[in-house]
Amino acid sequence: MSDNLPEFTGYNFTFAFGALILCTLTMLIAVRMVCRAAMVKGRSRQKRLLFSACIAGNGVWATHFVAMLGCAHSLATTYQAPLTILSMFVAMGLFVPTWWSECQTPNRSLSPRTALLMTVAVGGMHYIGIAAMTGAAQESIPPFRIILSLAVGFVFFYAGTLLLRQQHGRRRSLAAIVWVLGVCSLHFMGMPHSSLTHQAMSGMPQHIASLSLAGMVGAGASIFLALASIFLLLEYQSAKRKIEDSTRARNFADAALEGLVVTTGSVILDANSAFWNLAGTKSKSTYQLKTFFPVLTAEDILQKLIKEETPREIQMIRHDGERIPVEIYARESSWRGKPRTILAIIDLRARKETEATIKELAITDMLTGIGNRSFFVASLTDLLQDKTRNNPVVVFLVDIDRFKNINETCGHAMGDKVLSHIAKRLQILVPQDAIMARIAGDEFAVACVLSPDDVTDFASYLALELKIPLPDGHDELPVSVSVGFAVSDDDMQDGGQLLHCSGIALLAAKQSGRGNVREYDSSFDSAIQDRIRLEREIQRGIERDEFFLEYQPIMSTHDRSLVGYEALVRWQHPERGRVPPDQFIGIAEECGLIAQLGEWVVRRACRDAASWQNGLNVSVNVSPIQFTTSDLPEVIKSALDDSGLTSNRLSIEITESTFLIGNQIIDILKRLRALGVGIVMDDFGTGYSSLSHLRNFQFDKVKIDRSFIWDMIKRPHAAAIVDVILFLGRRLGVDIVAEGIETSEQLAYLQERSCSLVQGYFIGRPSQTIAEKPREEVLESPVPA
């Protein structure tokens, strides 16, 4: 049995310790390089594997001969050069398929292929090296011990391979330690008896080329040190590149305008400077995600954000406790080799302020600083629907008498001063909770809750207190006002209806003379009777084909060519003559005829456009009522099919008030967009203007209301609004259409600011026959430099 065990009598274990250190370094380097090679592909992987095989083979070969130095008489031992060199190349050559096999094997695999190849590589190198000593040395090792050494080595190699596949990061170094045990166990269990080796070598033929053991150890160690030095240099360069990449990534993240956060879902692991500035603190401390975003952890919103891949607006709590609105995006990504959640946080404060400013501008009369008609009607409707009030709502309409004469006699500047003065006086006279607005050129409206006993006295009080001399000493034209008012009943819910009633009362007051006060009374409401007649006549006009379309050209400012036309409905009444649209459109909407009239307009416009030889587009105005009283997408589809007009030549124009209908408006617009029809926002800036409309739906064009165009040359406030809308259009990639162009000055102003499209009387008046080009004055006027 003793013959089957290695003999260590006289063995110097100092060399064994040196061999252990050398083998450990070899396997640690090999593990590192194999892991790196698995992360790349192609020629880069081949180079890494070849270099790793050289280090591993040479290191194991040098380990073998360092260990052999510990044997008795080792320094006197010589080795056959061919077999010794062969053992080195066997080790290095067999480690190439070994590492290639490991790179191709998936993680968690139980395949023993790599361990078998390592056993062949190490065992082949070892026993060829033993054979290089002398043929008798090989015979001194019992076959059982050879098989046992290979089996034990395989067990350790297989255990190390499994560790390499199942561990991550630095824990993979455990595989190198186990492989070292495999190399050492195979070597020492396969060691020949020193006495037999020495006896065999004494009879070795002297003519065979031989190498001394010390020389081989020196050569092997030198080669290993050279390869290890190259490895360390490569590792240094890799670490340097990693630091540079990390620095570059950090600088890139810090350059981002939005805040970027890396989190595990509960702890903030890293963030860029934009986030820390937004949070109002520094990055030196560790923070929980709920510190800044409690809503993300309270309602499991974070997982919903990741799943839906859509942003959400939430409140962020800054370090000082301030709550600010932010828009947050979330997605799963890899960070430093591990799956993490990446958050992008956008500060919405500037956007909210801009939106509030535009909204304020949209509901404010620019001259007087009080509300406009849209604001008044919406606020009045809310007040009427308030069930907590104890008294009725009263609307007072105040109209300046002979205001046209003031403008003509003293100039429009004086007229503006009168309007501003009246607005300031009203703010003093009315209750603090009253709603006040300028709803027309020289008409002001006041709504408040009053006792029925005080209504008439308050109306007379307003008429008396607003009878003032003209500002700047123009006593020859004293200012007086007429007042009409209407009191709500218990069932009234619509602010527009109450305002309409007060308008009838104002008309009665003005008809009876200047400076009068009248309350709404249906007994003298001849306008109501005329309205009823007009409703019947609209219905008959549709049936008798009394309506027709005129087309106003739309011009591109880039080359002053026509790009399309806006279809405008007209009514030729057999008795009333030509009825202006503002006298029948509103009535058609209120009496439910607008859907029928609107469908006729769409069908006629499509049929006419299909016959145009120039192939230009046509746009049609659509009332908000049509979205609720008809299946608008189906109506438009039918009109396109019947006329043969391609859908991309048709656009529909909607006003901002359309969005007051409800959330279903977006779905209808998407159905229209699916047909290929263009969507245009009309009269932007005069209704319930909100950036959320432009955010929630991508319009093809946005039209600036003509009131801003008329005032922009002389009114800085109007010009500022026009500039803001043009800037907004450029940033959103939306064409802006300016309507109401009546002078070359207006056209030049818009061209200088890159307004895409224009229309108006200066470009071309509406006509039943389409124009082929803009008016000559437009074509001949110089283009701004």
Same domain, 496 and 559: no
pLDDT winner (highest mean) among 10-14, 376-380, 621-625, 639-643 = 639-643
Instruction: Please indicate whether residue 781 or residue 166 has the higher confidence score (pLDDT).
Output: 166
The per-residue pLDDT for range 73-82, each reduced to its tens digit, is: 444 456 677 7
Residue 308 pLDDT exceeds 60: yes
Same domain, 438 and 475: yes
Query: Do residues 58 and 223 lie in contact, with contact meaning Cβ atoms separated by under 8 Å?
Result: yes
Ordered DSSP codes for 200-246: HHHTS-TTS-EEEHHHHHHHHHHHHHHHHHHHHHHHHHHHHHHHHHH
The per-residue pLDDT for range 224-239, each reduced to its tens digit, is: 556 566 655 655 565 5
Bridge-partner residues for 110, per DSSP?
none
The per-residue pLDDT for range 285-297, each reduced to its tens digit, is: 777 777 787 777 7
Residue at 244 is within a domain: no
Task: Point out the domain boundary residue: 305, 320, 347.
Answer: 347
Residue at 457 is within a domain: yes
Instruction: Please indicate whether residue 645 or residue 6 has the higher confidence score (pLDDT).
Output: 645
Residue 594 pLDDT exceeds 80: yes
Distances 137 to 134, 190, 225, 448 between C-alpha atoms, Å: 5, 11, 30, 117
Q: What is the CATH number of the domain that holds 308?
A: 3.30.450.20
Residue 218 pLDDT exceeds 60: no
The per-residue pLDDT for range 384-410, each reduced to its tens digit, is: 888 788 889 999 999 988 787 677 667
Q: What angle (nearest 5°) sits at the alpha carbon of residue 332, between those of residues 331 and 338? A: 150
The per-residue pLDDT for range 676-728, each reduced to its tens digit, is: 999 998 877 665 555 666 777 788 888 888 888 888 888 888 888 888 888 88
The per-residue pLDDT for range 256-271, each reduced to its tens digit, is: 567 778 888 678 777 7
d(C-alpha 478, C-alpha 473), whole Å = 10
- Residues 12-33: b if buried by 16+ CB within 10 A, e if exposed: eeebbebbbebbbbbbbbbbbb
The kind and range of the H/E element at 640 are: helix 632-643
Same domain, 184 and 66: yes
Instruction: Please indicate whether residue 287 or residue 600 has the higher confidence score (pLDDT).
Output: 600
Residue 197 pLDDT exceeds 50: no
**Nearest CA to 349 among 313, 400, 399, 379?**
313
Q: Which of 739, 742, 745, 772 is catalytic?
A: 739
Per DSSP, 364 falls in state B
> Which residue in this structure is represented by tokens 């209704």?
687
pTM of the complete model: 0.41
Same domain, 341 and 372: no
pLDDT of 571: 92
Same domain, 231 and 277: no
Residue at 88 is within a domain: yes
Helix%, strand%, coil% for the chain, nearest 5: 55, 20, 25
Task: Point out the domain boundary residue: 501, 524, 547.
Answer: 524
Q: Give the largest CA-CA distance in the chain.
A: 146
- At residue 564 the predicted structure's pLDDT band, cuts being 50, 70 and 90, is very high
Query: Do residues 537 and 591 lie in contact, with contact meaning Cβ atoms separated by under 8 Å?
Result: no
Same domain, 456 and 332: no
Same domain, 45 and 189: yes
Structure tokens at 381: 């409707």
d(C-alpha 316, C-alpha 295), whole Å = 9
Residue at 193 is within a domain: yes
d(C-alpha 268, C-alpha 256), whole Å = 18
Residue at 358 is within a domain: no
Bridge-partner residues for 549, per DSSP?
569
Residue at 529 is within a domain: no
d(C-alpha 3, C-alpha 6), whole Å = 8
Same domain, 501 and 563: no
Residue 616 pLDDT exceeds 80: yes
Average pLDDT, rounded, for the chain: 78
Residue at 202 is within a domain: no
Q: How many domains does the chain have?
A: 4
Residue at 403 is within a domain: yes
Query: Do residues 748 and 560 lie in contact, with contact meaning Cβ atoms separated by under 8 Å?
Result: no
User: Active-site residue 739, yes or no?
Assistant: yes
pLDDT of 636: 93
d(C-alpha 497, C-alpha 528), whole Å = 12
Same domain, 430 and 561: no
d(C-alpha 225, C-alpha 665), whole Å = 76
pLDDT of 337: 63
* Phi and psi, residue 473, nearest 5°: 80, 15
Same domain, 181 and 318: no
pLDDT winner (highest mean) among 188-202, 209-223, 723-737 = 723-737
Mean pLDDT, rounded, for 732-760 = 89
Q: What is the CATH number of the domain that holds 369?
A: 3.30.70.270
List the single range of 245-249, 513-517, 629-633, 677-681 with lowest mean pLDDT.
245-249
Task: Point out the domain boundary residue: 347, 374, 403.
Answer: 347
Same domain, 659 and 628: yes
Q: What is the CATH number of the domain that holds 655?
A: 3.20.20.450
pLDDT of 232: 59
Given phi > 0 = left and psi -120 to 50 = alpha, else beta, which region is 369? left
Domain that holds residue 661: 537-780
Query: Any idea of the CA torsion for 321, 323, 328, 333, to the nearest 10 degrees?
Result: 0
Same domain, 103 and 234: yes
pLDDT of 520: 86
- At residue 205 the predicted structure's pLDDT band, cuts being 50, 70 and 90, is very low
